[in-house]
Amino acid sequence: MSEEANPFESLQSQIDAAAEHVDVDEDVIERLKHPERVLETNLTVEMDDGSLERFTAFRSQFNGDRGPYKGGIRYHPNVTRDEVKALSGWMTYKTAIVDIPLGGGKGGIIIDPAEYSESELERITRAFAKELTPMIGVDRDVPAPDVNTGQREMNWIKDTYETLENTTEPGVITGKAIDSGGSEGRVEATGRSTVIAAREAFDYLGEDIADATVAVQGYGNAGWIAAKLVEDLGATVVAVSDSSGGIYSEDGLDAREVKAFKNETGSITGYSEADEEISNDDLLTLDVDLLIPAALENAIDADLAEDVQADVISEAANGPITPAADEVLAAKDVVVIPDILANAGGVTVSYFEWVQNRQRFYWSEQRVNEELESIIVDSFDALTDAYEECDLENFRTAAYVVSVQRVADAFEQAGTFP
């Protein structure tokens, strides 16, 4: 294994690669490579046994030139300041490539949530929400779920904010449960865009995704939904994995049955219908048509990329491929649909949720899915136009060419204050 890439350095090198092809001055590019501000805070929270425990948490507000900072909050033991900064930058270029009027932000707590009770997690989340309250707001910064957070945590943050501010403002956070002001289609949105983008890529290559074999790394919300939806398009999901390991079946697995098994037992390994159990690296290097990394950053480094056999990769996770691995994959003509487009369904439906919250008027699931479909298809077209016009090395640089230009244009049109 080569040395683990620093995600913030990965982000900056992705921007540098695009900078060569955009009409943006170097001093503005410098701005676009750094967060505007980062909150680092220590939460002191009472545990169920009465003891106190300290947790370090971050919120990075990367760029607000196109609208309120937007992005999730993750709970993970490996959260770092640089990781949160990188993720907030990726959010900035994600909201720009799908052209929704939002900026980029991200938060995280260094914690393994599996080690805490629900009431402890509620107190930890509310303590963080209290710290966030002065800096978030419906027109300021709008958090959302990310790794190991979901509707429950969003509802706690919303309630804490509304209590402290003495208001009702559901649009201060997205990814809420429907009864708390959430949107239809939000839970499935990340996996849905991963599959729509993959379908468009196969189409672009003159192929049909229905004929594809697929491997999915990660069986959390994004991964499992992507497996289910790609299966619905007629593709064959031959392998899936989670943190316990992977499973493979030459004739295909049933995504819904695997999910039911995981719900029952806590992991996918041990699923008796699979032909064999495989490792995470085996899964990533399988000879499949489509690979969907849906776990964490740096899943594919340069060494592993040498062995990747997939034709198309659609990134449901943020940052799963290191810049060095990108170069290896480009040289092998592997088509990579970058995270900032492939998983942008999550933030796009968050945007729909925010719009519905502001209007206090709610859409049907069908409307949400139709609007999402057209945004992802249009964004994929903008990406391939840039790819062809600028004769770029890969789709990732094409996505950054489009999105860096959009953020820079918004900044330059606004001018600088003071």
Among 98, 144, 209, 237, the residue binding ligand GLU under the rule CB under 6 A is: 144
CB 14 within 8 A of CB 396: yes
Closest to 86 (Cα-Cα) out of 4, 13, 8: 8
Q: Radius of gyration (Cα) for the chain, nearest Å? A: 20
All residues at 6 or more sequence positions from 417 whose CB lies less than 8 Å from its CB, including other chains: none
Instruction: Check whether 190 is labelled as a binding-site residue.
Output: yes
Q: Which of residues 76-115 bind ligand GLU (CB under 6 A)?
A: 94
Give yes or no for residue 343 binding ligand GLU (CB under 6 A).
yes
Q: What are phi and psi of 311, to 5 degrees?
A: -90, -35
Give yes or no for residue 68 binding ligand GLU (CB under 6 A).
no
Give yes or no for residue 72 binding ligand GLU (CB under 6 A).
yes
Is residue 271 classed as helix, strand or coil in its secondary structure? coil
Give per-residue burial for 108-122: e unless 16+ CB within 10 Å, then b. bbbbebeebeeebbb
Give yes or no for residue 231 binding ligand GLU (CB under 6 A).
no
Of 139-147, 153-161, 274-282, 289-297, the segment contacting ligand GLU by CB under 6 A is: 139-147
Q: How far is the CB of 414 from ligand GLU (least distance, A)?
A: 22
Among 59, 70, 76, 396, the residue binding ligand GLU under the rule CB under 6 A is: 70
Is residue 78 classed as helix, strand or coil in its secondary structure? coil
Give yes or no for residue 350 binding ligand GLU (CB under 6 A).
yes
Q: How far is the CB of 183 from ligand GLU (least distance, A)?
A: 10
Instruction: Check whether 94 is labelled as a binding-site residue.
Output: yes
Among 120, 122, 141, 146, the residue binding ligand GLU under the rule CB under 6 A is: 146
Whichever of 94 and 406 has its CB closer to ligand GLU, that residue is 94
Whichever of 323 and 345 has its CB closer to ligand GLU, that residue is 345
User: What are the strands of the beta sheet with 141-145, ordered from one edge?
Assistant: 37-46, 52-63, 104-110, 69-76, 141-145
Q: Which helix (H) or strand (E) holds 302?
A: helix 302-307
Q: How far is the CB of 213 from ligand GLU (least distance, A)?
A: 27
Whichever of 87 and 308 has its CB closer to ligand GLU, that residue is 87
Among 132, 214, 337, 347, the residue binding ligand GLU under the rule CB under 6 A is: 347
Residues linked to residue 28 through DSSP beta bridges, in sequence order: none
Peptide bond preceding 320: is omega within 30 degrees of 0, i.e. cis? no
Give yes or no for residue 218 binding ligand GLU (CB under 6 A).
no
Instruction: Check whether 241 is labelled as a binding-site residue.
Output: no
Hey, which residues are catalytic here?
106
Of 141-149, 249-257, 279-287, 292-300, the segment contacting ligand GLU by CB under 6 A is: 141-149
Instruction: Give the number of other Cβ atoms within 10 Å of residue 327's Cβ.
Output: 15
Q: How far is the CB of 173 from ligand GLU (least distance, A)?
A: 9
Instruction: Check whether 350 is labelled as a binding-site residue.
Output: yes
Among 7, 103, 171, 346, the residue binding ligand GLU under the rule CB under 6 A is: 346
Query: Total binding residues for ligand GLU by CB under 6 A?
Result: 14
Q: How far is the CB of 147 from ligand GLU (least distance, A)?
A: 8
Closest to 355 (Cα-Cα) out of 89, 87, 102, 93: 102
Q: Which of residues 163-192 bind ligand GLU (CB under 6 A)?
A: 174-175
Q: What are phi and psi of 59, to 5 degrees?
A: -140, 120
Classify residue 5 by its DSSP letter. Answer: P
**Distance (Å, whole) CA 291 – CA 305:** 12
Among 71, 103, 191, 319, the residue binding ligand GLU under the rule CB under 6 A is: 71
Whichever of 103 and 246 has its CB closer to ligand GLU, that residue is 103
Q: What are phi and psi of 314, to 5 degrees?
A: -115, 115
Q: Give the residue ranges of DSSP H helices in 108-206.
A: 118-132, 151-165, 189-204
**Distance (Å, whole) CA 198 – CA 341:** 10
* Burial bucket for residue 246 (CB in 10 Å: 0-12, 13-18, 19+): buried
Instruction: Check whether 357 is labelled as a binding-site residue.
Output: no
CA 40 to chain centre: 22
Of 112-120, 142-150, 277-285, 363-371, the segment contacting ligand GLU by CB under 6 A is: 142-150
Give yes or no for residue 318 binding ligand GLU (CB under 6 A).
yes
Longest dimension (CA), the chain: 65
Question: Residues at the annotated binding site?
Answer: 70, 94, 190, 221, 350
The residues of the shown chain that bind ligand GLU, judged by CB under 6 A, are 70-72, 94, 144-146, 174-175, 318, 343, 346-347, 350
Question: Residues at the annotated binding site for substrate?
Answer: 70, 94, 350
Question: Residues at the annotated binding site for NAD(+)?
Answer: 190, 221
